[in-house]
Structures are given as structure tokens and as C-alpha cells.
Amino acid sequence: MPKALKRILQVVGVVLVAAIVVVVGYLVYLETTYYRIADDTAIEVENNPNATLRTGTAYSAATYNIGFGAYTPDYTFFMDEGILADGTATVGEHSTAVSRESVEACTNGAVETLEGLGADFMLLQEVDTDSTRSYQVNQKAALESAFPDFSSTFAPNFHSGYLAYPFGDPHGVVNAGLLVLGDAHVDSATRRSYPIDEAFPTKFFDLDRCFLVERLPVVGGKELVLINNHMSAYDEGGLIRAQQLDLLTGILEAESAAGNYVIVGGDWNHALCGSETMYESGFQVPPWVSTFDESLLPTGFSIVRADNIETVPTCRNNDVPYEKGYTYTVTVDGFVVSDNVKATARNIDTGFAYSDHNPVLLTFELQ
């Protein structure tokens, strides 16, 4: 064998071995840094006010997935896929926000939106604290600062090592969670873990899904059980979400049997109230969309159908920039309440200016 060729083969061999070592080392790093937070974990209530809820009094609650401050209307996300009406496949581009300034602007816009709603309780999802994807902007701190008189509970639901994919725009380290802000006293808060897809490599990119349960005393001895919920996305066929719903409904049954008031708000990642084909678009229904079967709720619970649901969706697909009447939209955000809670809801049309979700405002009274 010519010396030159032998040298080339040696160099190629060294490069291949080095590449294998790097890949294996990175996979070991991901596996050793991966963990799930224990179920039934107590959460600290910060800045807890003294006010106690009363029956026969009007209150309001808002749910809003703020999308880690990335989703301006023209932003697309690499994990979002779609299918045009003619069958053409589409896919988003970005993994991180386009800039720190964009994250700060979207976070401030979300704060202003919430201030305008004037809700007594705010159930927020995809709130980053220290993440590569959002340029280390602490959204939790920004929201708490904007509502200094409100209690704050925070349940982590995404805590990853450095995710090197996609290679041109790696997702990086993520620290994010569910945040509840409220102006009434909270007796306790608990983080409950959802079942998730533990398959490789899905488990590294999916969240450590959970829901956050607050227990608020009501004059007269009962409790309001207020739940901030964020179910799995990118779950084609809805198998994982079915397991998650089964866990949640068991808790709803127990609380109803105890005579408590129950409100569950958040991002269900299910099409609510038949909204999967409700809005005009140039797309087919994406594979991830799963319809929420209200008959699976326990007796005594119902979805609060927004009074403007037929004209205002709460979520857009992120495979293409948002264009009203063209981009696929659906309502996946909203509230489920027990029958002893009188409630109405309204989807708030922000034009998806600060997130790929619109907020939902619930007005309610404990009977």
C-alpha cells in the first residue's frame, strides 16, 4: 500500500474514532444528566397574601402559554410540521428565539396583556428561568415583578442538559415551568408528575410534564383546588395524553367527592370543543392534533366553552409564519370546572403577537 494512501486511511480512522468518542460521550452526558422530578412534590408558595375566597363572589382566572418568549407572528419552530391542503409537507425553522431583545419584547407584551385582563389568578405555561433558547431571560422574575401583590408558585417541567440538536440552532440548556400568580391565600401547592414518552431520544426533547395543584381555603370550610395543566404535545395518536388525562381525572373525582370546588386551566394540547376543524386555513389537520373527548371527564365536570370560540382560536401551528385564515389554528387552551363553579370564558385575541397561544379568561363564582 502506498505510504500516502496509508497515511490518509490512518487520518480518516482517527477522525472516525474521535467522532464516535464525541457522540458516545455526548449521549452518556445526556443520559447521566437526565432525571424526572419526583411525583407529589411540595412547592413553596412565595409572597402568600391573607385574603380568603368567598362563595357568591365574582372572580376571574386567565390561562396563557407564553411560549418562552420566542413566538412573534413570523416565528416558526423546528418541531412543528404541517400539511397543506394539496398534501405538501411543511416544517418550521427555529429552535431558539431570534434574539434576546425579541424575548424581552414578547415577555413584556405578555405582561401587558395579562395586566389588561386584570385576572385574580394567572395560570402560565412555558415560563423560562434560565434557558439557552430564551437567552437566559428570567421570565418568572419578570412576571412576579409585574404583579408584586400576588402569590407565586412555580413547578419546573423542563430541565435539560445541553441539547445539541438541531445542529445549526441547538436548543441548548432549558429550565422552564408552570407559574401560578394569585391574589388569595394558598394553603399548599403540589407538583404532580404526568406519564411521558420515555423513548430515546424523545424523552430529552419532551418536557418533564406535570400539573401544579394549589389548594385555597374558602370561607365556610371548603377548598378551591386550582390546577395549572400542561399536557404533552407532538404525541401523534394521543396515547401519552390519554394516560395523562386518566391520572388527572382520578384526582378530579377525588376532589369532587370531598365536596371541593375544582378549576383546571392550561394548555391541554387537545382540540377543545370540536375546534380541530373550526377555523379557516390552507392546511389539513396536523398529525399531532388530538380531539378532547369530554365524555372522559368525571361526572360533575365540564369544559367551559368560550363564548367566542368560533371566531378566536387559542393556538397556531408553527410550521409557517402566522397568517390569519391561512395558518392552521385550533383551541387547545381553556378551563374545566366542577359543577359547583358557575363560569363563563372568553378567548382573548392577541393576533398571536407575543406567543403561539392566545390567553383565555375565565369569570367564575363559587356556588
Residues 26 and 170 in one domain: no
Computed over every residue of the chain, the mean pLDDT equals 91
Residues 197 and 211 in one domain: yes
Residues 114 and 22 in one domain: no
What range does the domain containing 26 cover?
1-33
Please report which confidence band the pLDDT of residue 164 belongs to, taking 50, 70 and 90 as the band edges. Answer: confident
262 or 204: whose pLDDT is higher? 262
Burial of 79 (0-12, 13-18, 19+ CB in 10 A): middle
Please report which confidence band the pLDDT of residue 58 belongs to, taking 50, 70 and 90 as the band edges. Answer: very high
Confidence check: pLDDT of 18 > 90 = no
Residues 24 and 52 in one domain: no
Residues 21 and 66 in one domain: no
The closest of 167, 165, 169, 176 to 98, measured between CA atoms, is: 169
The closest of 289, 320, 288 to 91, measured between CA atoms, is: 320
pTM: 0.91
Residues 6 and 108 in one domain: no
Number of domains into which the chain is organized: 2
Residues 100 and 209 in one domain: yes
What amino acid occupies position 354? Y
234 or 292: whose pLDDT is higher? 292
pLDDT of residue 29: 57
pLDDT tens, residue by residue, 69-117: 999 999 999 989 999 999 999 999 999 999 999 999 999 999 999 999 9
CA angle 211, 212, 213 (to 5 degrees): 120
Radius of gyration from C-alpha coordinates of the chain:
22
Residues 178 and 325 in one domain: yes
Residues 27 and 42 in one domain: no
Q: What percent of the chain has pLDDT over 90?
A: 74
Residues 222 and 318 in one domain: yes
Question: How far is 174 from 206, CA to CA, in rounded Å?
Answer: 11
Residues 77 and 19 in one domain: no
Confidence check: pLDDT of 4 > 90 = no
Please report which confidence band the pLDDT of residue 7 belongs to, taking 50, 70 and 90 as the band edges. Answer: confident
CATH of the domain at 292: 3.60.10.10
pLDDT tens, residue by residue, 20-52: 766 666 666 556 666 678 899 999 999 999 999
pLDDT tens, residue by residue, 331-359: 999 999 999 999 999 999 999 999 999 99
Confidence check: pLDDT of 290 > 90 = no
Residues 19 and 69 in one domain: no
